[in-house]
Structure 1
């Protein structure tokens, strides 16, 4: 079964760097998504890379609009029929953050949007793209080395955060963001249990913590982070790809940080 990769969304931030990293280090087809400006996103992702542009497909996905997710999954079904292809690597990376340092700062609309983006968005992505993952009886073509270096099983990696850990919560604050990422960890564990049943050892799901990265999402908080703990997007993308390569079957259903260390629930 021929492999392909998915990064959603991929127009900016960590996901943008992840898409470029996958394009650079594999020769498999890559599907990236954006809410708008699809051609601009494709141009930006390919800029400066020595890769065949035909490998990259950009599809419209807005995680707040389930029909766009369903349409993108249907397109991928046509491009990569499951009888001959399998979704070998998926990074699902939507993210939104509103700072809430005290309960008084909680805004219901902002909180709802946070959950819809950070938790429900990935959940709907899993709903529609799960049929493209390998089943128990699937066999990856041994002669296909387009994703050489990656594990033989398919890996679905959803972006979480250390603040989603309840046992690690010693500072408080960030109510909606913390709760939404705790929800992500539960979704990943539940989905991995599903994969155990339908895919066996052929597919796993994990959650990832990238650290504090120089992106628009975290910009307001750069001043409070030690210089050595504020990471460049390209460097983090490399670390996260390496984590996916090393986690293995024993690491399925868990949350892992950029250094490959497990984050407790």
Structure 2
């Protein structure tokens, strides 16, 4: 079985940096998604990288539109037939934040959009792309999947969480819709991993990741409130997250981990 990778979305922020890092540090084909401007995003992803551009496939995906997810999955079925390929590394990272400080600031439409983007979007991605993951009976190609290739020892689906999604560590309150959506992501990772225990055994796991506070558009208005040493560049975070998942072992499945590989409690 030959591995390939998926990063969605990859047009900006952490997803953009992750796609470049996977292109740079592995030799596998990479599928990157964006809602629009695919040629421009492709050029930006490849800019300055000494890699074979044919490894990169750009697909149009809007996680708010399930038909676009289904169409992308159909394209991948043609490009990566399950008889000879498996999705070995998937980063599903859409994100949206409305920072409600008090209950009076909760807006129903904004909250719904937060859940559709942060929680339901990754759920639908898993719905349409889980069939690409290896089965219990799959024989992973050890010549293709090695530490020197920059890949984890088993297939990993990683969804993007946040420390504020931890219920046990919530001591400040606020950010109602974002916190709840990320707590939902942690549950999604655990529930999907339970499915993989049955369908894939030790060939595939699911996890959630906390990247820390990253210098992206999502967190820009909060940069001034974060200690300098705790505000990370997206390229550094992408390198750390890829390193973390490559070191995962089977017993770490179904949980949430930060950029340093430490578990974030539920």
CA distance in 2, matches of 1:143, 1:212: 36
The aligned counterpart of 2:239 is 238
Residue 256 of structure 2 corresponds to residue 252 of structure 1? no
Residue 201 of structure 2 corresponds to residue 200 of structure 1? yes
- Does the CA contact (< 8 Å) of 2:145 and 2:152 recur in 1? no
- Does the CA contact (< 8 Å) of 2:145 and 2:151 recur in 1? no
What SS class does the counterpart of residue 206 from structure 2 fall into? strand
CA distance in 2, matches of 1:133, 1:262: 24
CA distance in 1, matches of 2:236, 2:245: 15
CA distance in 2, matches of 1:104, 1:111: 13
CA distance in 2, matches of 1:96, 1:218: 10
CA distance in 1, matches of 2:94, 2:246: 22
Alignment of 1:105-120 (within 5 A): 105-120=105-120
CA distance in 1, matches of 2:145, 2:170: 42
Q: Deviations over 1:118-143 (max 9, x none)?
A: 00000000000000000000011222
Structure 1: tracts of 5 or more residues without a match: none
Q: CA deviation at 1:145?
A: 4.9
CA distance in 2, matches of 1:17, 1:205: 21
The aligned counterpart of 1:162 is 163
CA distance in 2, matches of 1:234, 1:47: 14
* Length, aligned pairs only: 265
The aligned counterpart of 1:226 is 227
Provide TM-score, normalisation by structure 2. 0.98
Alignment of 1:123-162 (within 5 A): 123-145=123-145, 148-162=149-163
Residue 11 of structure 2 corresponds to residue 11 of structure 1? yes
Q: CA deviation at 1:12?
A: 0.2
C-alpha spacing 1:145/1:153, structure 2 compared with 1 (3 Å):
closer
Moved over 4 A (4+): none
The aligned counterpart of 2:98 is 98
- Does the CA contact (< 8 Å) of 2:63 and 2:121 recur in 1? yes
The aligned counterpart of 1:213 is 214
The aligned counterpart of 2:183 is 182
- Does the CA contact (< 8 Å) of 1:2 and 1:86 recur in 2? yes
**Superposition RMSD in Å:** 0.9
- Does the CA contact (< 8 Å) of 1:140 and 1:152 recur in 2? no
- Does the CA contact (< 8 Å) of 1:30 and 1:56 recur in 2? yes
CA distance in 2, matches of 1:186, 1:248: 20
Provide TM-score, normalisation by structure 1. 0.98
Q: CA deviation at 1:185?
A: 0.4
What SS class does the counterpart of residue 158 from structure 2 fall into? strand
- Does the CA contact (< 8 Å) of 2:211 and 2:259 recur in 1? yes
The aligned counterpart of 1:26 is 26
